[in-house]
Amino acid sequence: MNTLLMLIVFVPILAVILLGLNILLATHKPDEAKKSAYECGFSPVYGQTRSTFQIHFFVVALLFLVFDLEILLLFPIALTLYQVSMFGFSVALIFFIVLTIGFILEIGSGAIKVTSSYVEELSMNKK
């Protein structure tokens, strides 16, 4: 059986089995803290539940997901590289070149940069 075909068949079956085991074996005892909107431990301040949110954190999270998926695609490519010959290698190379160009454009546009005030704060904490 082809390794990539086995991966395509095996991963969904394993995911369904693990989700089923979680539903069957996990304890379901929600308490008041678990049902609240602030499960993280912060007490909600009534009347001030909305606060400003810097979009920079959201952008960094989305970019992390994109490049994390790129790393996820390295595994099947590494497994099947001997079987897909030069055509498969060239497709994989084009894929990673496009993603690398996208990463360079993101750095150039300033989507993922560390502000100078943050760098100064880090250097002050080390002293």
Considering the segment(s) 3-126 as one domain, its CATH architecture is Up-down Bundle (1.20)
C-alpha pair distances (Å), 39 with each of 28, 32, 45, 90, 98: 16, 9, 14, 47, 40
Residue 95 has a pLDDT of 85
What pLDDT sits at residue 20?
A: 95
User: What pLDDT does residue 119 have?
Assistant: 53
Q: Per residue of the chain (127 residues), what is the pLDDT tens digit?
A: 688 888 889 999 999 999 999 999 988 777 776 666 655 555 656 665 566 666 777 777 888 887 788 778 888 888 888 888 888 889 888 988 988 888 888 778 777 765 655 555 556 655 5
